[in-house]
Structure 1
Amino acid sequence: MSKDYYIIPIFVPHFGCPHDCVFCNQRRITGLSTDVTQDYVKKTIEEHLATFPKRDIVVEVAFYGGSFTGIPKEIQRELLSIPLEFKNQGRIKAIRLSTRPDYIDDDILNLLKEYDVDTIELGVQSLCDDVLYESGRGHNSKQVYMASKLIKEHGFNLGLQMMIGLVGDSREKSIFTGKEFIKLRPYCVRIYPTLIIKDTYLEKLYHQEKYKPLTLEEAIDISTDLIMLFEYNDINVIRVGLQPTENINFGKDVIAGPFHPSFRQLVESNKYKILLKDYLDKLKLDYDGKDLTIYVHQKNISNLVGQKSSNMKYFKDRYNFKNIRVYKKDLPKDIVELNISNTTLKLDMKYLTGQYVKGI
């Protein structure tokens, strides 16, 4: 999403969802425990709009948390009528909501179309039925495929959310889910590593030593493969990792799991490390004692360098470069330019990604 894109989040914690998935405590995740009203929605939109720049921007209202289409229809209408009013006035551009795959049918989609909803995100989590069962999801993979098909047939943008490291999950199962997502051709996806949140059944399993969360390194590696699969197939990954809040942090409501406040940057940096390593290895040049200069689009510098220059240290140690320098350059975002002792090499990162994902 561009810098001129603004989202107004409306959290509807556990509203409309009778299921208690093993990993879920929406009140702690959202920090809210009260019902959402029309007045609350209107006030939230007005307050956010007041803080946005006055230039030409794109604003989207998004109903997050819970299962929106599980709410009684009269309440759905009440809540959706507020952003629709703002949309008709030209003050917002789009409306988005999230729900469960088993809470989608023709009647529901007709209602959402009536209120000019643009994007429907499905909390899928996995497309492996054993993982869905162990997680207490209450739906199966077939319902995901059916709901996705209906959403697209009714003309909505389809968003899909997945989790990695669930009970019974594995790297192979997560990659399978990612590849199945690609077949469904969603408008966007989200990737969430499973965290153990306070007062969930997953916390109980963890203390009973019946569940072991992914390490941070494992979560980064799996997420890196997934993000490369999605990006190579031109699917927008709009979030990787749960957003840190006052409560979503270690020492607060996160008991254990691969949490990091900058998780996506760790994943993006790992992507650069993997692709550049593969490229430099295949060149089979003598790098010992030579200088490496890297030119990259300004927005990609921090991801390429890595947190605390971790990638630069890695390449220096692996290839024994004398010096490594990184500079911004007016290049396409997918292009990285390397200069090794006056030899210039231009790398197409999308092409390298395509070569890499063949082995996933």
Structure 2
Amino acid sequence: MIFSHPEPPSRKLRILPVFMPFAGCKSRCVYCSQTVQTGTAESQLKNIYIFLQQALEDAEDNAGYEVAFYGGTFTAIPFEWQKRFVALASEFALSGKVIGVRCSTRPDAVNSEQLRELKELGLKTVELGVQSYNNKVLSISKRDYTQESIVSACNAVRKNSLELGIQLLPGLPGMDKKIFLDDVKKTCALSPAVVRLYPCLVFKNTILASWYTRGEFAPWELNDTVEALGSGLLMLWQDGIRVIRIGVAQEDGLTDSLVAGPFHPAIGNMVRSEALRCFLVEKMETLSRPFSRLLLPRRYQGELWGYKGAYKKFWGERGLSPSTVVSWNLPIFQMD
């Protein structure tokens, strides 16, 4: 049996991140780990604009950056500022310094008419912080929108021929594995170009931290998280959707403010290994006789055996061992 890895072809991006802490945010979600602000002061937006302008002027020609506005609700800041930021980034397209502009925002802060104008100025991708489609989960987490708002926002992004990104937050209060996998199915139905998976963590000075302290919230265990995300990742891959992030980035100070939750510096590798395990088990079940050998593309050697060899026993019980798994340079798998 010959087959390929289910992950869609990746597209390497060179991102120039522009962080806009709480820009446009009108409320505080239960997991938010910083002090809430109502919108963003004019002076702060000016400072961010100056930072971006300087960064682009200093960049090399043909750097090929995608300028990405993160950390707030981009489409909820004053529209004139939205246009100024996108237009500024697009000014550097002729020199090759910028090849696209992306932003992150909330589903209930999407305006189709404004998206059309932003696209004409150079906006390419809109990532929506969906988190979940389950209305009960959204309500508990104080997201203040519904599944209907999410679908409407996704349709508005695609209607304006913009690339759609969706961010999911498995492990939110009130969520179990079944709800998360249902969220993945709903995501597949909306056909985004990219997805990010951020397991819910508990940080200091959050509503979630107070619930955790009082015993009113229990984050998912790491093993349960890896299992759930592995299944979800495989579903997304098999639907042709690229997953461009698994887990939060390990920024300075992150572990100091972390109270609880399924954080691990190698969680991306662990989830990919689980997805590969599920995928290979599916292939094995199609065989009508015991298999004797697996020809494995070299790049997946580590993922097969799992983080620190976590799956060696599992595969050994199914006849796979270092002597029956052969690494090769071809990009396809072969199972005998």
- Deviations, residues 144-197 of structure 1 (Å, cap 9, x unaligned): 111111111111111111111101111111111111111111111111110001
After superposition, the C-alpha distances for 1:77-101 in whole angstroms (9 at most, x for unaligned) are 2322321111243222111100011
Give the drift of 1:8.
1.1
User: Aligned in 2, Cα 1:294/1:45: closer, same or farther, shift over 3 Å?
Assistant: farther
Change (3 A) 1:46 1:223: farther
Q: Which residue of 1 aligns with 2:44?
A: 35
Residue 349 of structure 1 is matched in structure 2 by: none
Matched, 1:273 2:277: yes
- Match of 2:92, SS state, is helix
Pick from 172, 181, 186: which aligns with 1:175?
A: 181
What is the CA deviation profile of residues 16-71 of structure 1, one whole-angstrom value per residue up to 9, with x for unaligned ones? 1111000112579xxxx993521111233456x45xxx8x7743111111100111
5+ residue gaps, structure 1, are 339-344, 346-360
Give the distance between the partners of 2:235 and 2:11, measured in 1 at CA: 25
User: 1-side partners of 2:89 and 2:109: how far apart?
Assistant: 21
Counterpart of 2:333 (choices 319, 331, 336) is 336
Q: What is the correspondence of 1:60-139 to structure 2 with a 5 Å cutoff?
A: 60-139=66-145
Query: What is the alpha-carbon root mean square deviation over aligned residues?
Result: 2.6
The question of whether the paired residues in 2 share the 8 Å contact of 1:13 and 1:27 is answered with no
> Which region of structure 1 is more displaced relative to structure 2, 107-116 or 222-231?
107-116
Contact 2:296–2:326 under 8 Å retained in 1:
yes
Matched, 1:14 2:11: no
Q: Name the counterpart of 2:268.
A: 264
CA positional deviation for 1:330:
2.7
Contact kept? 1:4, 1:58, Cα under 8 Å: no
In structure 1, the residue corresponding to 2:91 is in which secondary structure? helix
1:240 is displaced (CA, Å) by 1.2
The whole-number CA distance in structure 1 between the counterparts of 2:128 and 2:290 is: 50
- Provide the C-alpha distance between the structure 2 equivalents of 1:307 and 1:198, rounded to a whole number of angstroms: 29
State the structure with bigger RCO (CA 8 A, min sep 6), 1 or 2.
Answer: 2
Change in Cα spacing, 1:294 to 1:194, as seen in structure 2 (3 Å) is same
Percent identity between the two aligned chains: 29
**Secondary structure, counterpart of 1:35 in structure 2:** helix
Shift of 1:327: 4.3
Whichever residue aligns with residue 118 of structure 1, its letter is K
Distance 1:103 1:4, change over 3 A: closer
Shift of the 18–314 alpha-carbon distance from structure 1 to 2, 3 Å rule, reads same
Residues 71/275 of structure 1: CA separation in 2 closer, same or farther (3 Å cut)? same
Q: Which residue number corresponds to residue 214 of structure 1?
A: 220
Question: Which residue of structure 2 lines up, in the alignment, with residue 231 of structure 1?
Answer: 237
TM-score between both structures, scaled by the size of structure 2: 0.87
Equivalent residue number for residue 3 of structure 2: none
* SS of residue matched to 2:101: strand
Classify 1:141/1:4 alpha carbon distance in 2 versus 1 (closer, same or farther; 3 Å).
Answer: closer
Instruction: Please tell me the residue identity of whatever aligns with 2:303.
Output: N
Cα 1:4/1:170, change in 2 over 3 Å: closer
CA contact (8 A) 1:59 1:93 kept: yes
Measured in 1, the distance between the counterparts of 2:112 and 2:167 equals: 21
CA contact (8 A) 1:61 1:96 kept: yes
Instruction: Tell me the distance in 1 between the aligned counterparts of 2:276 and 2:63.
Output: 31
CA contact (8 A) 2:34 2:206 kept: no
Query: Structure 1 94/284 Cα, relative in aligned 2: closer, same or farther at 3 Å?
Result: same
| Superposition TM-score, scaled by structure 1 size | 0.81
CA distance 1:328–1:35, shift in 2 (3 Å) = farther
Contact 2:100 2:124 in 1 (8 A): yes
Displacement of 1:325 in angstroms is 5.8
C-alpha distance after superposition, 1:296-335 (max 9, x if no partner): 223222212322222234322x246675465432322xx3
Question: What residue in structure 1 maps to residue 310 of structure 2?
Answer: 310
Cα distance in 2 for partners of 1:88, 1:325 equals: 53
Query: What secondary structure does 1:150 align onto?
Result: helix
Count matched residues.
321
Give the Å deviation of 1:140.
1.2
Whether the aligned pair in 2 keeps the contact of 1:193 and 1:241 (CA below 8 Å) is yes
Q: Counterpart of 1:305 in structure 2: which amino acid?
A: W
1:82/1:326 CA distance change after superposition, 3 Å: farther
Cα deviation for residue 294 of structure 1 reads 3.8
Q: Matched residues in 1 for 2:108 and 2:249: separation?
A: 26
